[in-house]
Every structure is written in structure tokens, then in C-alpha cells.
Amino acid sequence: MKIKNICCLGAGYVGGPTMSVIALKCPEIKVTVVDLNESRIAAWNDEDLDKLPVYEPGLAEVVEEARGRNLFFSTEVDSAIEAADMIFIAVNTPTKNYGEGKGMAADLKFVELCARQIARIAKNDKIIVEKSTLPVRTAETLQTILDHTGNGVKFEVLSNPEFLAEGTAINDLLYADRVLIGGKQTESGQKAIQALVDVYAHWLSPKQILTTNVWSSELSKLTANAFLAQRISSINALSALCEATEADVDEVATAIGTDSRIGPKFLKASVGFGGSCFQKDILNLVYLCRYFNLPEVANYWEQIIILNDYQKYRFAKKIISSLFNTVSGKKITFLGWAFKKDTNDTRESAAIYVAEHLIEDGAEIHVYDPKVSEEKIKADMSYLWELKGFTEQKIESKLKQIFVYNSAEDALHQAHAVAVLTEWDEFKTYNWNSIFINMYKPAFIFDGRNILDAEELTAIGFQVKGIGKGYIPQLKREPVF
């Protein structure tokens, strides 16, 4: 079966970039990305490519080439569903914040709504592709809804989880290590798998396209994220030990990462991982293990989250204790708010939790991030405090402790301390000599990403504290002769 018309429900960080690349590489397929959020769709259609709702290096160029040719963004969900042979579901699946499974399970209400809408609208057979990250056996639920509420047409459900990372999404899509497609072992299931394989085969080689049964595919996605996050929590756990023993975490990471069995990636110690998926997917994995009565397995994976929370808290505590046990009324400048560089996404960013601890201790948080707006930063904090049950009045008053700037220079002026929360490259290029002159003394730098040159900054006069760096390098001495 040849796919001619694709529809994607959800124009977010996954739906937007993945469909743009499919459209770019498959010019004969019409790709329509739909969303209920009108302003998001308007932004995807904006003439000014700087206003696309997702910031990703290389994305604007792809959209520019394909948009209006065979790539369309629309709020007309029903007509897009009706016209499509293949429908991707790329809607959000956040952690449930109510009822059964609150704080652990994935909230599948948006996915369920999509299935009901597809079933109501579809008048001919369709392939439904799970692109969202879903708990293992969700395809069964989708199939049940589609079969019981549809118009008698046939639906094949495939699992095709997405492995892109934000900030490198276009590269990850164009040069994917692999794509994974899970489907039923029936004849029609295999035909559906082949139809999706043919889409990816436009730019990926057959050995990059893995096919499995549906359940393996669903579970592999949660597992991949859990393994990646596990490495970060492992190195972050060791960073605490390094600080206590004067070992250097970057040296340890290099030493172990050169063992080809371990490998060098995902061993960068940090203030803690953020992002919309690691925490939510691991919590979901833990929930599933408990659901299937596997408490030891659940506790094993849960430790990744516990350690990550500890790392964020440890960073905030170090700032407070270094600043003579109080940050009350002090100006702490945050360089970075996004959960990693090269994205405007702030979901679950470590910055949010570090800010919360410091604000609790009375600090003024002054933020500069090259891609994140004041509105977003304040919305992130308000959302956290709402979840904690704070009154509107209390939230308003706490927001007065946050100041957001369009320039790093202004944010850093007369600060007591600088905290690096995101590893944006531009932070390395600043004139730290003049920043030092304009700060209160002693001037502290807490490098939550270990991106700055600690030796050079120490020579300028800063008190530098990195992650997993108990040992501050001595000043370089001039040779005697």
C-alpha cells in the first residue's frame, strides 16, 4: 500500500519537526499537521520563520522548503483525518496530576480523545501510528476504542516511538540511529508496517529501520529513556562523591567512557536532567512495574528520579551554604533557564526547582536565557506553585522575586552570585573580567554544567564551584627562569 496522504494530530516538539522532515523527504506525500491550539498553528504558518513555535537548529530551513508545497499546518482536524491514509498521534502524554496514578502514570486522555475523533470521522480504512510515548499495551486500548466506536472501517495500529532529542531534532531525524516500527504479526499488520517502512525508506537505509511486535516497540521507548537517564543519575551520584574526595567528575567520566563497553555519551554531570520526557517516562515505567506487581523492579528505576531531585536540591543548597548560609535579599543571576541548550523548551528544567529552593530562602532570581521569554519563566514558576496549592496572592508575591532580562550584562550587574543552569555556548564567550568588576565580592560562580574555565575564573578572583569538582585548580605559576 502506497501512502499518499498523512495527517498528524499534535503540532508540538515532536509532531512539528518529524512531519516537516517526512514532508521534506517525501515530496509526493501530502502531510498535514493539525492541532487544537490555534495560536500554535498560526505560529507554524507565520511568514517570519523566527516565530515558529519550536526553536530547533535547522528546522526553519526545512519548513521553508516544504511548507505550502506538501507540508501544511491547520486547525481543521476533521477534514485532515478524513483525507488521510495514515494518521500519526503525536499529542502530549504528561504525568497524571489527578485521580488514580496521580504523579506517576501517563495521562492518556489526549490520546483517547484522538482515537475517538478518528473513529467518528473515518469513512475508509486507515493506519494509525502511535508517535507519542505510551505505556506498553496502549495500542490494545486504541484498537478497542477504534473498533467499538468506528463506522465499521478497518484500523491497523502501529507503534512508532520517536527518539529525537530537542536541540538536535533535525539532525536526529535526518540521520537517525534507527527508527522502530511495531505492528501486529497478521497479514494486514505486516502490510501496515511495510507502508510505514516505505515512508522512512525515502532517506534511511533498511538496516536503520527496525520492526518488532507492538509491545516490544512501546516498551523499548520507555526503556531507552530510562537507560539514558540512568547514566546521568549515575554520574551525578558520583559527582557528590567527587566533591567529597577531590576526584574530578569530568576526569572520571573520561576515564570510564573510554572503555568501549561503557562509551562516552550521556556521562556529563549536571545540575540534574530536565525535559518533558525523562521524568515522566520513568515515573510511568515505575507505575507499570508496580501495576504488574514487580516492586523491586519499580524501586530500582525510581531511584533515578530520587537521585535527580537530590542533585537539583544539592546544587541549591550549595549556593545557600556558600553564600554564608543565607541568600535572603541577595541577587543570584541564572544564566540559562531552558532544560538544555539550543531549545526554547523549559519543561521540567532544573532551573525551575533550583529557583524554587532559593526563592524559599528569600533570594532574588535574575534570569537571562537567549531563547526563553519572561512570560514563560513566570508561567513555569506559577504552575509549580499552583501544583503545591499556593494561593493566587502568594504566587503573585513570590513572582516579585523573579527578574528577567534580554541581556546577560544587565542580569549580571551587581549580582552576588552567578549560577549556570543551561550549557548555552555563548556563556563561555563572555568577558568575565568585566563581569567580575561589576559583581559584589566575594563573587561566586556555581557552574551547574561545568562549561566555564574554572582555572581562568579563579585567576580573575571568582570563587568557582562546579559539579563534581572538589578541587579548584591552583593558579598557574610563572616559571622561576
Name the residues annotated as catalytic: 277
Strand partners, 418: 333, 445
- Kindly tell me which residue out of 3, 6, 12, 26 binds ligand NAD, with binding defined by CB under 6 A: 12
Three-state secondary structure string covering 358-408: HHHCCCEEEEECCCCCHHHHHHHHHHHHHHCCCCHHHHHHHHCCEEECCCH
Q: How far is the CB of 97 from ligand NAD (least distance, A)?
A: 15
Asked if residues 333 and 413 have their Cβ atoms less than 8 Å apart, the reply is no
Q: Which is nearer to ligand UGA, 33 or 269 (CB)?
A: 269
Could you say whether residue 432 binds ligand NAD (CB under 6 A)? no
Could you say whether residue 36 binds ligand NAD (CB under 6 A)? yes
Interacting partner of 15 out of ligand NAD, ligand UGA, none (Cβ under 5 to 8 A depending on kind): ligand NAD
Q: Which is nearer to ligand UGA, 3 or 11 (CB)?
A: 11
Interacting partner of 232 out of ligand NAD, ligand UGA, none (Cβ under 5 to 8 A depending on kind): ligand UGA
Asked if residues 350 and 274 have their Cβ atoms less than 8 Å apart, the reply is yes
Could you say whether residue 435 binds ligand UGA (CB under 6 A)? no
Q: Which amino acid is residue 321, in one-letter code?
A: S
What residues from 233 to 292 belong to the interface with ligand NAD (CB under 6 A)? 276-277
Q: Which amino acid is residue 38, in one-letter code?
A: E
Q: Which is nearer to ligand UGA, 81 or 134 (CB)?
A: 134
Q: Applying CB under 6 A, which part among 86-94, 149-157, 172-180, 426-434 lies near ligand NAD?
A: 86-94
- Kindly tell me which residue out of 95, 138, 220, 270 binds ligand UGA, with binding defined by CB under 6 A: 270
Which triple of cell numbers denotes residue 176? 537517525
- Kindly tell me which residue out of 107, 156, 162, 302 binds ligand NAD, with binding defined by CB under 6 A: 162
Q: Which amino acid is residue 108, in one-letter code?
A: L
Q: Spell out, one character per residue from 301 to 340, where the chain touches ligand UGA: x when CB under 6 A holds, - when not.
A: --------------------------------------xx
Q: Which is nearer to ligand UGA, 60 or 277 (CB)?
A: 277
Q: Which is nearer to ligand UGA, 54 or 365 (CB)?
A: 54
Strand partners, 73: 33
Q: Applying CB under 6 A, which part among 26-34, 112-120, 161-169, 282-290 lies near ligand UGA?
A: 161-169
Could you say whether residue 277 binds ligand UGA (CB under 6 A)? yes
Interacting partner of 110 out of ligand UGA, ligand NAD, none (Cβ under 5 to 8 A depending on kind): ligand NAD
Give the total of residues touching ligand NAD (CB under 6 A).
27
What residues from 444 to 463 belong to the interface with ligand UGA (CB under 6 A)? none
Give the total of residues touching ligand UGA (CB under 6 A).
21
Q: Which is nearer to ligand NAD, 9 or 267 (CB)?
A: 9
Q: How far is the CB of 469 from ligand UGA (least distance, A)?
A: 15
Could you say whether residue 83 binds ligand NAD (CB under 6 A)? no
Q: Which is nearer to ligand NAD, 75 or 143 (CB)?
A: 75
Interacting partner of 37 out of ligand NAD, ligand UGA, none (Cβ under 5 to 8 A depending on kind): ligand NAD
Q: Which is nearer to ligand NAD, 91 or 105 (CB)?
A: 91
Could you say whether residue 273 binds ligand UGA (CB under 6 A)? yes
What is the distance between the alpha carbons of residues 14 and 166, in angstroms, rounded to a whole number? 9
Interacting partner of 228 out of ligand UGA, ligand NAD, none (Cβ under 5 to 8 A depending on kind): ligand UGA
Q: Which residues bind ligand NAD (CB under 6 A)?
A: 9-15, 34-37, 40, 77, 90-93, 110, 113-114, 132-133, 162, 164, 166, 276-277
Residues at the interface with ligand UGA (CB under 6 A):
133, 162-166, 225, 228, 232, 266-268, 270, 273-278, 339-340
